[in-house]
Amino acid sequence: MAKRNRFAHQRSGFDYLIVGAGFAGSVLAERLAAGLDKRVLLIDRRPHIAGNAYDHYNDAGILIHRYGPHIFHTNSQQVASYLSRFTKWRPYEHKVLADVDNQLVPIPINLTTLEKLYNLKLTPEDAEAFLASKAEPVAEIRTSEDVVINKVGRELYEKFFRGYTRKQWGLDPSELDKSVTSRVPTRTNTDDRYFGDSFQQMPLHGYTRMFENMLDHPNIKVMLNTDFEEVRHEVQYDRLIYSGPIDEYFDFRFGKLPYRSLQFRHETVDQENFQPVAVVNYPSENVPYTRITEYKHLTGQVNPRTSLTYEYPAAEGDPYYPVPRPENAELYRKYQALADATPNVTFIGRLGTYKYYNMDQVVGQALAMFNRIAESEQREVQHDAALSRAAREMAHVNGALRAEVVHGAGD
């Protein structure tokens, strides 16, 4: 098998062409290069690695995230220890406040949120009873509106969810799959962490540095500012791993898969601090942006100035969020069927599989994919070994037969 791969190199240049240098593409590049000694060409049409997790130091010397705040959290020990090979970590538990009724209150809704909004003093039992009294049970929960109203009632739904969701998705929560708001918990204690995961840390020197370490391998060649279309017929490779948009790969044969986009306004202000936590949400439809991020909370950087990002949801632009509606899932399934019937191409990542994934989920998906590739290589090796064994045996038998014939002929 090793021999066959060496010939494959000479024939085709690369074992793998990987499209997209985000988490999906970079984890697979690293695993294939370091784990299976494959030669990998990793391309991205953007001028940088790290995909949407890309961060960099701006003119003020502050580490910012170009595509909005990326907070790392996971319950997967496997994912955390894999990434720990490429970075040290900085403990950080994400906190978010929402600007509601002219004050900043914790979101997800918790005991403090209720106390502040309703001017009450509550125990966790009181908070539970309060929410139960507000909740309006919905017989069949189908939409994002149903989820919230069933849990906390219409009043809190309108204060926190309706406007935010309408801005974020350009759709009313009643038109959106229940998965969107199901992601946000409700708490009756004072826990004000946004995530409950066991591992919540930020890469100490940022995501881009972590990706640089991951891709620092002699078998990996990275080409930036390079679209798949430009090179697909130029480069020679055996297998393709594609983490770009699946509909684009198939020339939008069945139509475009809908995405929601964002415009980011990055700004640095001449003050040391801007807001009490990293992210403040603005649920009101009277405010055009959905949230403001202040990065120094994520990094612990000390600087006399501070950098912010405002997020404005948009219908057009880079594809960020797959729109979770049944008809879109149906359209994706058609592309998935095409993908399944396309040999030597693997689709992966949030664009390749049209799913909103957190970073840790994409890492998990890529590691699982690598295991499948490694197992199938292993099977091929065994198969090849069995074939050569069989060929050797056959040659031996043939040789013996020939000897017999020759011997027989001499009799």
Ligand X SMILES: Cc1cc2nc3c(=O)[nH]c(=O)nc-3n(C[C@H](O)[C@H](O)[C@H](O)COP(=O)(O)OP(=O)(O)OC[C@H]3O[C@@H](n4cnc5c(N)ncnc54)[C@H](O)[C@@H]3O)c2cc1C
Q: Give the nearest distance from C-beta 402 to ligand X in angstroms.
A: 56
Tell me the window of 99-107, 326-334, 354-362, 380-388 that interacts with ligand X (CB under 6 A): 354-362
Specify whether the CB–CB gap between 256 and 354 falls below 8 A: no
Interface with ligand X (CB under 6 A), residue from 228, 310, 335, 354: 228
If the CB atoms of residues 4 and 183 are measured against ligand X, the closer one turns out to be 183
Alpha-carbon distance 269 to 53, whole Å? 23
Please report how close the Cβ of residue 116 comes to ligand X at its closest, in angstroms.
25
Residue 51 interacts with ligand X (CB under 6 A): yes or no: yes
User: In the complex, what is the shortest distance from the CB of residue 350 to ligand X, in angstroms, rounded to a whole number?
Assistant: 4
244 lies in the binding site for ligand X (CB under 6 A) = yes
Backbone phi, psi, residue 84, to 5°: -65, -15
Q: Is 203 in the site for ligand X (CB under 6 A)?
A: no
Q: From the CB of 124, what's the least distance to ligand X, in Å?
A: 28
67 near ligand X (CB under 6 A) = yes
Give min distance, CB of 87 to ligand X, in A.
15
43 binds ligand X (CB under 6 A): yes
**Candidates 156-164, 284-292, 353-361, 371-379; binding stretch for ligand X (CB under 6 A):** 353-361
CA 290, CA 310: separation in Å to the nearest integer? 8
Q: Checking phi first, is residue 4 left (phi over 0); if not, alpha (psi -120 to 50) or beta?
A: alpha
Total residues interacting with ligand X, rule: CB under 6 A: 33
Secondary structure (H, E, C), 17-73: EEECCCHHHHHHHHHHHHHHCCCEEEECCCCCCCHHHCEEECCCCCEEECCCCCCCE
246 binds ligand X (CB under 6 A): no
Q: Is 227 near ligand X (CB under 6 A)?
A: yes
The amino acid present at 378, given as its one-letter code, is: Q
Give which of 118, 143, 144, 145 is closest to 133, Cα–Cα.
118
What are the φ/ψ torsions at residue 357 (nearest 5 degrees)? Answer: -120, 145
Nearer to ligand X, 52 or 188 (CB): 52
- Closer by beta carbon to ligand X, 160 or else 320: 320
53 binds ligand X (CB under 6 A): yes
Indicate whether 179 belongs to the interface with ligand X (CB under 6 A).
Answer: no
Alpha carbon distance 319, 316 (integer Å): 8
Q: How far is the CB of 20 from ligand X (least distance, A)?
A: 3
For ligand X, the binding residue among 357, 367, 370, 381 (CB under 6 A) is 357
Q: Is 20 in the site for ligand X (CB under 6 A)?
A: yes
Burial class for 263, CB neighbours closer than 10 Å (0-12, 13-18, 19+): middle
309 contributes a contact to ligand X by CB under 6 A? no
**Is residue 364 part of the contact set for ligand X (CB under 6 A)?**
no
**x/- string (CB under 6 A) for ligand X, residues 247-286?**
---------------x------------------------
Q: How far is residue 309's CA from residue 212's CA, in Å, rounded to a whole number?
A: 24
**C-beta closer to ligand X: residue 254 or 357:** 357
Cα–Cα dist 263/156, whole Å: 28
- Which of residues 350, 354, 369, 373 is near ligand X by CB under 6 A? 350
The answer to whether the peptide bond before residue 324 is cis (omega within 30 degrees of 0) is: no
Question: For residue 150, what are its two tokens?
Answer: 């069933």
State whether the Cα torsion 130-136-142-148 is positive or negative. Answer: negative
Residue 321 sits at φ, ψ, to 5 deg, of -115, 115
**Beta pairing, strands 63-65 & 73-74:** unpaired
- CB of residue 364 to ligand X, shortest distance in Å: 11
Asked if 52 touches ligand X (CB under 6 A), the answer is: yes
Applying CB under 6 A, among 8, 14, 15, 23 the residue interacting with ligand X is 23
Q: Whose Cβ is closer to ligand X: residue 138's or residue 171's?
A: 171
The rounded distance, in Å, linking the Cα atoms of 385 and 360 is 37
Residue 68 binding ligand X, by CB under 6 A: yes
Q: From the list 17, 18, 24, 97, which residue makes contact with ligand X (rule: CB under 6 A)?
A: 24
Figure out which of the listed residues 31, 38, 46, 291 binds ligand X, where binding follows CB under 6 A: 46
How far does CA 38 lie from the centroid of its chain?
24
Tokens of 386: 């069995």
Contacts with ligand X by CB under 6 A lie at 19-25, 43-46, 51-53, 67-71, 227-228, 243-244, 262, 320, 349-351, 357-360, 362
